[in-house]
Amino acid sequence: MSNPLRVAIAGLGTVGAGTVSLLTKHRDLIARRAGRNVDIVAVSARNSEKDRGFSLNAYDWYDDPVAMVKEADIDLVAELVGGEEGVAKEVCKAAITVGRHVVTANKALMAMHGDALASEAEAVGVSLNYEAAIAGGIPIVKALREGLSGNQINRVYGILNGTCNYILTEMRENRISYEAVLAEAQKLGYAEADPSADVDGVDEAHKLALLASLTFGTRVDFAGVYTEGIRRISIEDIDYADEFGYRVKLLGSARMTENGLEQRVFPCMVSKDKAIANVDDAYNAVVVHGDFVDDTMYEGRGAGAGPTASAVVADIVDVARGFSVPTFGVPVADLINVESIPIERHWGACYIRLMVRDEPGVIADITAVFREEEISIESMLQRARSQTEAVPIVLTTHACEEAAMRRTLKRIGALDSVVEQPTMIRIETLN
């Protein structure tokens, strides 16, 4: 058997501790599959005294992870610190500079600096792998970079944030408000104390930018991802979606068109007969459409110690085997720059919920605006009078350009009879 692969772990939080546990528990299994032992020789974290469920005595301890990368006798560092700047970035850059392979679970870092880090890694001949950065335990990077490499892929989309999927599932199944479910998700550890990155779609946008680059061979363009979260989704919207035959999901979707690259993260309504509409709780799923395979779907847990550690170790095993492919599927110099298509040019059907005063002429005023903007209404529901001043009018439209829909909603929102800003949720056909 070859010399062991010597590994350093930077960061011993949920993922780092999970990685140590997996490499320890399956040491013999991993050695058989990798053709050599994989040995942890050094670790670094904020607190050496914290109880993580295992002893650190067998490893060299470093208070400074950058010093560890430079000084320890290692072949590879697993960067599991997190964050797009600061220590995480310094660890990766230092490792590459001194010729260490890098495995990371850091989607923010890769979305913001992946091109530059990959270029540096190529220059010195080391691997930069990040399977764990997208969709937890789902091996989607390997699927796109290797398993589907013979296909022309025109679209990739998915549920890429388990926190939001859990919240939307609980709202639908148990009729609990967004605020109440979020608080519960925080107690369960699904959501951070500051949940903004999750619920505002930023986490999913990081992952989508990486997926798009892998899928289409383009430069990573996080700034080009239109991002919208789930804060405005209500139980009423989820109920109406069900009535119309839809489920509400936060989807990340990337599609290459003749005009450029569409990258979108937004809550949308998906027909119940689509497989991805039935992916619930904290699960993730990714659908890839290739010209020879048609649709392939990958589903699994998108976060947590076990699934994410599984992906980290898969990348480590690749390095141990001596298997290496370009970070984004092709050399960085071959990644192309494409125009990012703004959301105003998005084309699709929409669900609209309006809260209006129950008085004569309201519907006529609203439909007049749709007519003048040349948007066709597909269906409309008006509920009976209620005890409150406002009543809901709910409608769906045929496909239209987003810019026209935004003009329409701005005009309707300014009507005296409309008492709240309109709610709009896009309807995705996923064809």
Active site residues: 207
Q: Which residues pair with 158 in a beta bridge?
A: 252, 286
CA angle, 244 then 412 then 177, to 5°: 50
DSSP H/E element including 268 = strand 260-271
Q: State the CB neighbour count (10 A cutoff) for residue 267.
A: 20
Of the candidates 422, 425, 371, the one whose C-alpha atom is nearest the C-alpha of residue 402 is 425
Amino acid, single-letter form, for residue 202? V
DSSP-derived pairing of the beta strands 283-290 and 294-301: antiparallel
Cβ atoms within 10 Å, residue 322: 12
Q: Which helix (H) or strand (E) holds 257?
A: strand 246-257
Q: How far is CA 185 from the centre of its chain?
A: 18
Say how far apart CA 103 and CA 101 lie, in whole Å. 7
**What does DSSP say about strands 101-104 and 153-159: parallel, antiparallel, or unpaired?**
unpaired
Closest CA to 298 of 275, 323, 280: 275
User: Any bridge partners for residue 11, and if so which?
Assistant: none
Whose tokens are 């300014």? That residue is 414
Q: Is 383 helix (H, G, I), strand (E, B) or coil?
A: coil
Tokens representing residue 301 in the block: 């847990």
Q: What angle do CA 296, 254, 204 make, to 5 degrees?
A: 95
**What is the C-alpha separation between 308 and 313, in angstroms, rounded?**
9
Nearest to 15 by CA among 127, 100, 103: 103
Tokens of 402: 């987003």
Cα dihedral across residues 58, 64, 65, 67: positive or negative: negative
Whole-angstrom distance, CA of residue 102 vs CA of residue 10: 11
Closest CA to 20 of 302, 309, 304: 309
Q: Are 225 and 205 in contact (CB under 8 A)?
A: yes
